Chains A and B, each alone.
Chain A
Amino acid sequence: MNPRILFTEVVYLASSVLFILGLRSLTIPDKARRGMQLAALGMLLAIVGTVVKEEIVTYEWIVGGLVLGTIIGWPLGTRVPMTAMPQRIAISHMFGAVAATLVGVAEFWSKGNGAEVGRGQMAALGFEVLFGALTVTGSFMAFGKLQEFLPSKPLTFKGQNLVSVAMFAAAIGLFGWLIYAPANPLAFFLMVGLGLLFGVSLVLPIGGADMPVVISLLNSYAGLASSATGFAIGNNVLIIAGALDGASGFILSIVMSKAMNRSFGNVLFGAFGAPPPPSEKTSTGLAVHAITPEDAAIQLGFARLVIVVPGYGMAVAQAQHTVREMAQLVEKNGGQVLYAIHPVAGRMPGHMNVLLAEADIPYDRLKEMDEINDEFKNADVALVIGANDVVNPAARSDKSSPIYGMPILNVDHARKVIVLKRSMNPGFAGIENELFYGENTEMLFGDAKSSLSKVVQELKGSAGH
């Protein structure tokens, strides 16, 4: 073996090992940072191992791309606020897929428009550009919805699923034909085009509340596209890294779907569509019990155990730092504050944890649903901040509810539930929430941040006396 090739192969092997070690370190929060630095080293090694390859005859485009990518990537890493993390991740899936798709297209084109492509390689290339193309546009749509330049409500029209399925079937048909006869540029580029269109029609009808599943799924597709690239150009480190990413996205989508008690198919093709009729409880005009920040402060001041349930509304109101202030005051009074994180709280897996960690809340106070659900009965106050569907008891009892069967946080078991909410508008899924009319529920209306600031002032005032 030529020493250059040997060097490249050894370096690739080392990178693969470092990637796996890096991911493994994420199982232990205290070691995660160090581990991911190792993974970054692995990436650097892979780049070095690649640029010394003999196939590379010119460097200006390489250097240009590396420099431009760094200029764009740097602020995306350092500047993007944690609240914008879901759209940041969505757009990065797009970038990853763009790279994979272009490599696939160029590989096909440079091999005599498919004339020199074998059937095995065509299969890999097909997967690569098909997954790649639908991830490019799908991720961009997800980005648009999360960034809110596209409506986050599901966009649907009659027969949409039929059109989507037909497009996908046509793409698969072309794919099959290409494997049989690869030298067919028309079919190849038509397939890429269909993949792009399919990505749009796949994500547009999906509502904002389902975004955690979509982002996870696109994460998986981006990984699989990378892996297919590895098959197509015969590169093991690509296959390995892509497979790791694919597995991760797949696991996360399963976790998210389970947390909503829905199947993949239901998330992808079962857009909630028309809002369900208002529940009978509201039509009978049950009143809610509204309270003032002062009332809330009194209860929090005397509480022994407060469980905070954050939702996307907390992120929107940027209330996480005020939550920390409130928690410190409760702790000063001798109470304990824990945080109950539902798996689909927020717009992407784990989003709430990141926001609370950013607000300097120690991570051992952040509890997963199964860990904390039995604690609610001991809690004096459950403080629901901008969460709605994840605390809706209809998920337990109301079979006609679209969220029936979804595991929820047992906030209603707490002695008192205080819900911070902007108004009585139903949540994202457009579903009424019985919790708000419950006997032990009190509503604190207004912007979560300003309400909490008032609570904090009250708590401070009472502590001074």
Chain B
Amino acid sequence: MSVELIQIYVFLLAGFCGFFVITKVPALLHTPLMSATNAISAISLVGSLVLAGSSHGLAARILGFIAVTSATINVVGGFIITDRMLKMFRRAPSAGEKK
């Protein structure tokens, strides 16, 4: 099987998987969901790293440097802010404490 075909398999299966998982996320957490997926899609950092450290010459490395910077902003900022938001979601104290 050709590489492209496997890639399409992977893409479609991941897409389905994402679809089924994400439709179950309650509206309550839609903002954290968005910041979380944003942080996760900063995985383009992986491609940027290869570019910034490549042997393709200075221009490619500088482009890579900018790409690494941008993606790192999303990785660092994205996971921190998602955690900050999720930390705030608390349940009401249990029924025993209610008046």
Tell me the A residues contacting B by CB distance below 8 Å.
15-16, 19-20, 22-24, 26-27, 29-30, 32-33, 36-37, 39-40, 43, 46-47, 50-51, 53, 55-59, 61-62, 64-66, 68-70, 72-78, 80, 82, 85, 88-89, 92-93, 95-96, 98-100, 102-103, 105-107, 109-110, 120, 215-216, 219, 222-223, 225-227, 229-231, 233-249, 251-252, 255, 331-332, 334, 341, 343, 348-351, 353-354, 357-358, 360, 362-366, 368
Residue of B nearest to A342 (CB): B27
- The reply to whether B53 and A61 form a contact with Cβ atoms under 8 Å apart is yes
Which among B33, B54, B90 is the interface contact of A26 at CB below 8 angstroms?
A: B33
Report A-chain residues with C-beta under 8 Å of the C-beta of B78: 73, 77, 92
Q: In chain B, residues 50-99, which have Cβ atoms closer than 8 Å to a Cβ of chain A?
A: 50-57, 59-93, 99
Instruction: Give the interface centre of B18, B62, B81 by most chain A CB atoms within 10 Å.
Output: B18
- Least distance between A250 CB and chain B CB atoms (Å): 8
Range, interface on chain B: 35 or more
- The reply to whether A96 and B41 form a contact with Cβ atoms under 8 Å apart is yes
A39 and B27 CA atoms in complex are apart in Å by 20
Which among A56, A219, A234, A243 is the interface contact of B54 at CB below 8 angstroms?
A: A56
- The reply to whether A349 and B72 form a contact with Cβ atoms under 8 Å apart is no
A36 and B36 CA atoms in complex are apart in Å by 7
Indicate whether A20 sits within 8 Å of B21 (C-beta atoms), given known contacts A61-B65, A348-B31: yes
A-B contact pairs, 30 of them (CB 8 A): A23-B36, A24-B21, A26-B33, A27-B24, A27-B25, A36-B86, A40-B39, A40-B83, A43-B39, A50-B46, A64-B65, A65-B52, A68-B69, A69-B76, A72-B73, A77-B76, A85-B31, A95-B70, A95-B74, A99-B67, A100-B44, A103-B47, A106-B51, A222-B38, A239-B7, A243-B15, A252-B33, A331-B99, A348-B31, A364-B91
A74 and B13 CA atoms in complex are apart in Å by 33
Q: In chain B, residues 1-23, which have Cβ atoms closer than 8 Å to a Cβ of chain A?
A: 3-4, 7, 10-12, 14-15, 17-19, 21-23
- The reply to whether A245 and B49 form a contact with Cβ atoms under 8 Å apart is no
Instruction: Give the interface centre of A22, A61, A75 by most chain B CB atoms within 10 Å.
Output: A61
- The reply to whether A23 and B18 form a contact with Cβ atoms under 8 Å apart is yes
Identify 10 new A-B residue pairs, CB closer than 8 A, beyond the known A82-B85, A245-B40, A353-B27: A20-B21, A27-B21, A27-B26, A39-B36, A39-B40, A51-B53, A65-B64, A76-B76, A348-B31, A348-B34
- The reply to whether A58 and B53 form a contact with Cβ atoms under 8 Å apart is yes
- The reply to whether B7 and A231 form a contact with Cβ atoms under 8 Å apart is yes
Which among B28, B30, B48 is the interface contact of A252 at CB below 8 angstroms?
A: B30
A245 and B86 CA atoms in complex are apart in Å by 19
A243 and B29 CA atoms in complex are apart in Å by 20
- The reply to whether B46 and A235 form a contact with Cβ atoms under 8 Å apart is yes
Report B-chain residues with C-beta under 8 Å of the C-beta of A350: 27-34
Which among A33, A216, A244, A366 is the interface contact of B28 at CB below 8 angstroms?
A: A366
Nearest 6 pairs between A and B by C-beta? A69-B72, A65-B68, A77-B80, A350-B30, A73-B76, A247-B18
Report B-chain residues with C-beta under 8 Å of the C-beta of A249: 34, 37
- The reply to whether B27 and A37 form a contact with Cβ atoms under 8 Å apart is no
- The reply to whether A57 and B54 form a contact with Cβ atoms under 8 Å apart is yes
- The reply to whether B64 and A216 form a contact with Cβ atoms under 8 Å apart is no
Which among A16, A100, A363 is the interface contact of B90 at CB below 8 angstroms?
A: A363
- The reply to whether B18 and A239 form a contact with Cβ atoms under 8 Å apart is no
- The reply to whether A230 and B7 form a contact with Cβ atoms under 8 Å apart is yes
Which among A106, A225, A230 is the interface contact of B64 at CB below 8 angstroms?
A: A106
Residue of A nearest to B35 (CB): A89
Report B-chain residues with C-beta under 8 Å of the C-beta of A252: 30, 33-34
- Least distance between B72 CB and chain A CB atoms (Å): 2
Which among A19, A30, A65, A357 is the interface contact of B69 at CB below 8 angstroms?
A: A65
A368 and B35 CA atoms in complex are apart in Å by 20
- Least distance between B41 CB and chain A CB atoms (Å): 4
